[in-house]
Amino acid sequence: MTITATKPEGVIHKPESFKLSDIASWQLNSDKSPVDLPPLQRSFVWKVSQIEAVWDSLLRGFPVGAFLLSKSEDEKLFLLDGQQRATSIALGHYNPWTSSDTKFWSLKKANTPVVWIDLAPKDKTNTQKFVLRVVTQSHPWGYQRIDHSKPLSVSDRRNALDLFKVSSDNKTERYINLSNKITFPYDANLPVPLSFLIESISACDDANDRKNAFWKDRLLAMCEKYLPCKHIRTKYLNSELGYLEILKEVLYSEEFDEDIYNAIKHIQQVLIPGIVVDQQVLKAEDERTGERKDEEDSTLFVRLNSSGTRIAGEELIYSIYKASFPEAKGLVEGIAASYVAPSLVISLVSRLAYAELQSNYAERQSTYPSPMNVNDFRKRIQDNEFKSILKEYIGDLSASQEIPGKAKQIFDCAISILLSEDDVTIPPVLVKSIIRKSPELFLMLLHWIRLKDCQITINEKKRALASITALSWFCKDERKYVRAIWSHITHEEFWVRDVLQKPFYGSNDYLMYPLISPSALKEFLIENVVKGSTLRDKLYPDSNSDIANQYKYVLKHENSPEEDNRLANSIWNVFIKEVIRNRYLLLFAQRRYINNNFGDFNQMENLEDTNTPWDWDHIYPGSWANGKWYIHANTKFWTNTIGNLRAMALEDNRSESNHLAPKLRLVDVEKEIDVREDSFVKSNDWAYWLKIERRINHNNTEMVAVHLSAIINRLCNIYTEWYDILRIGVLFNFEDKVHAELKSIVA
């Protein structure tokens, strides 16, 4: 047997090593940097806790791993593995007060975090020796100190804002617009920017500088020059002495921990190894991509990212796309900017392109394009026809000028549909939430717009908005729905009632059921919850009720009456769960308040996240319904539904009002403040809020009923606002009289 040696595909060059300051300069001084990020790299995805952890490791002398780089033909180095660590190192050196032209690889300037270090922490986590604190645009006062993966509590954020606004300079600053240059970590004792500390100690040349406390003088001078020292007050630093005075006192005290100085001096000498490979290794891997159909993670790049924060799915597909079309990165990021992540843009556009490709063969109908895995995309990107269609969607560079493709117009049209309906303006944050929550529905909308060649009438926009919101909030299975309805989009609108109403897959399985009319919902809840004191787990419509009859309209097949009742109860149970907790409905009802106060805010990742400039405030105080055995079960339950919640700016929601009665929270007679309209409180629920003056005991049946009447009336008002404004019943209530109305509108 003869063994033939294979020629190495690439060359591993002599290892290099980099100081932390060198690594930081790759982005802080990018114009002169020998290291860049290759197009296939993803964005910066590390969490705040990971940034803090890597700096704690560096300061303690722990290894943080080598970097892997490739050398291009012009000797430029590309970072293949280590972007998250490199960016975290750069953030520790980043001084936003003096660095005006810094260009991070994957961070927008407005969103660049600032790293602080606590010089006198009273408490530390079990895993940290040094207490690093990171502030971001979404969390301008940082995260919790002990559990630094969790945001600050609402009360801590509110208190931080109160302390911040003590200064007259900050009176008009809105939470949404706060700059990281004027905020500070709240859950800390004595924080200073890490970059200040590094700069001050790095300037020390010998032991005499340390002995003479030169670095301390320099640090104090930098803090005095750049920081808003007059209004820095943290959770534990609220002394009349002031931030600068306390900092000076601690720095020059005999008890000051010199470990911080030693750690900073040590990291100046730290060298992090860099392994440099020839670019041929990557080329060889890419050439074999199509041959490995059974391996999703077949490229070197993916293998390198198999540990740490793994890259997969849409992010990896986007990376592969950037590697194939590096010049198109700006075009992709310009499609639906701030509403749709670039990775989701590529995912959706790739599926649209594949659907179009399929329909081109023998004039076949476009079939539903299933989500692509990495291998699917790699295989299809090798197809010249698919690649050509994809390029047509994204755009091209001609004579160094970006020419957007047709995807931009399609996406812009889709977002404009979701943003407005006549004089109704939907908050941008709500539009972004719908897209993130329901990408399949958004794909369906894009496909429909493409087929309409972006020529959408006003009436069609209304129906599309009504359908997307209803399907997003109440659909049983969005992907099944889009798959089932896809073929209908080629010859009729996706909201046509005959399609919405039909069972799919030849069974009695509806993916979208009728939505109960507000009048029927209100009548049922008042009769059963307020008057009948029915608890939630027993709350089902009677077989002869209007609600049951609306469901039976679509269930009249071969079912027995008992089976119809069982199915109706099952449908009702899903519906009522969606209604009572649906904060999307609440944002829609409060859209004028949200738009007036946070019109350009759309950063919210999900409705449970705390990085919003508003608080989800209880009108009837949540504390009044918690922790007491004598609270009625219905009082406890309904207090936490949207009927008792409102979105309210942190600046407006004062902590001292948390225990006030609803009428005092909604109207302050002395200050002449009436927030009923902003809070979406109507006359029919206000009449009941007025009567609630204190915590309600379970024995006081009259006040229990008043409390429930206030919440249920407001809950139904919120549901009615959406249902009536967007004329939901025309599409999603399947009674005959509604069907007739629909026919006249479509005609």
Distance CA 129, CA 132 (A): 9
Backbone angles phi, psi at 556, to 5 degrees: -85, 80
Distance CA 258, CA 724 (A): 67
What 3-state class would DSSP assign to 79?
strand
CB atoms within 10 A of CB 287: 10
Which pLDDT does position 126 carry in this prediction? 72
Q: Are 625 and 632 in contact (CB under 8 A)?
A: no
Which pLDDT does position 599 carry in this prediction? 79
* CA distance from start to end of the chain: 80
Which pLDDT does position 389 carry in this prediction? 92
Which amino acid is residue 427, in one-letter code? Answer: P
Q: Are 497 and 734 in contact (CB under 8 A)?
A: yes
Which pLDDT does position 365 carry in this prediction? 62
- Relative to beta strand 420-421, strand 16-19 is unpaired
What 3-state class would DSSP assign to 354?
helix
Give, to the nearest 10 degrees, the angle between helix 342-360 and helix 374-381.
Answer: 60
Within the chain, which residues score under 50 in pLDDT?
1-9, 284-298, 306-307, 506, 738-739, 741-742, 745-747
Which pLDDT does position 297 carry in this prediction? 40
Q: 88 CB contacts (<8 Å, ≥6 apart)? A: 46, 50, 51, 54, 55
Model-level pTM?
Answer: 0.82
Residue 503, Cβ density class (10 Å: 0-12 exposed, 13-18 middle, ≥19 buried): middle
- Relative to beta strand 401-404, strand 395-398 is antiparallel
- Relative to beta strand 401-404, strand 271-278 is unpaired
CA torsion angle 456 460 461 465 (round to 10): -140
Query: Where are the extended beta strands (E) located within 473-626?
Result: 614-618
For 631-692, the three-class secondary structure string (H helix, E strand, C coil) is CCHHHHHHHCCHHHEEEEECCCCCHHHCCCCHHHHHEECCCCEECCCCCCCCHHHHHHHCCC
Which is it for the CA torsion 557, 561, 566, 570, positive or negative? positive
CA distance readout (Å), 410 to 176, 381, 414, 551, 602 = 30, 22, 6, 36, 20
CA torsion angle 380 383 388 393 (round to 10): -10
Burial 20-55 (b: 16+ CB within 10 A, else e): bbbbbbbbbbbeebebbbbbbbbbbebebbbbbbbb
Give, to the nearest 10 degrees, the angle between helix 313-324 and helix 374-381.
Answer: 20
Distance CA 132, CA 192 (A): 10
Distance CA 283, CA 300 (A): 10
Distance CA 97, CA 100 (A): 8
Distance CA 564, CA 552 (A): 6
Which pLDDT does position 646 carry in this prediction? 95
CA atoms within 13 A on the CB side of 545: 23
Distance CA 719, CA 734 (A): 18
What 3-state class would DSSP assign to 231?
helix
Name the strand (E) or helix (H) holding 35.
strand 35-36
| Sheet hosting strand 132-135, strand order edge to edge | 132-135, 114-118, 191-193
The residues pairing with 396 across neighbouring beta strands, listed in sequence order, are 403
Distance CA 526, CA 226 (A): 59
Place of tokens 């399985």: 509
Q: Are 106 and 329 in contact (CB under 8 A)?
A: no
Which pLDDT does position 180 carry in this prediction? 82
CA atoms within 13 A on the CB side of 561: 3
Q: What is the greatest pairwise CA distance in the chain? A: 98
Q: 98 CB contacts (<8 Å, ≥6 apart)? A: 226
Structure tokens that stand for 340 in this block: 């749709």
CA distance readout (Å), 24 to 35, 259, 268 = 11, 23, 12
Which pLDDT does position 110 carry in this prediction? 65
What 3-state class would DSSP assign to 181?
coil
The residues pairing with 116 across neighbouring beta strands, listed in sequence order, are 133, 193
Distance CA 391, CA 405 (A): 7
Backbone angles phi, psi at 211, to 5 degrees: -65, -40
Q: Are 366 and 359 in contact (CB under 8 A)?
A: yes
CA distance readout (Å), 230 to 66, 165, 186, 244 = 42, 11, 15, 8
Which pLDDT does position 197 carry in this prediction? 95
pLDDT in tens, 550-590: 776 666 556 677 777 787 788 888 899 999 999 999 999 99
Which amino acid is residue 282, in one-letter code? Answer: L
Backbone angles phi, psi at 278, to 5 degrees: -75, 150
Distance CA 26, CA 41 (A): 15
pLDDT in tens, 452-466: 999 998 888 988 999
Distance CA 93, CA 78 (A): 21
Which pLDDT does position 275 carry in this prediction? 87
- CA angle centred on 110, ends 20 and 137, rounded to 5°: 90
Burial 180-218 (b: 16+ CB within 10 A, else e): bebbbbbbbbbbbbbbbbbbbbbebeeeeebeeebbbeb
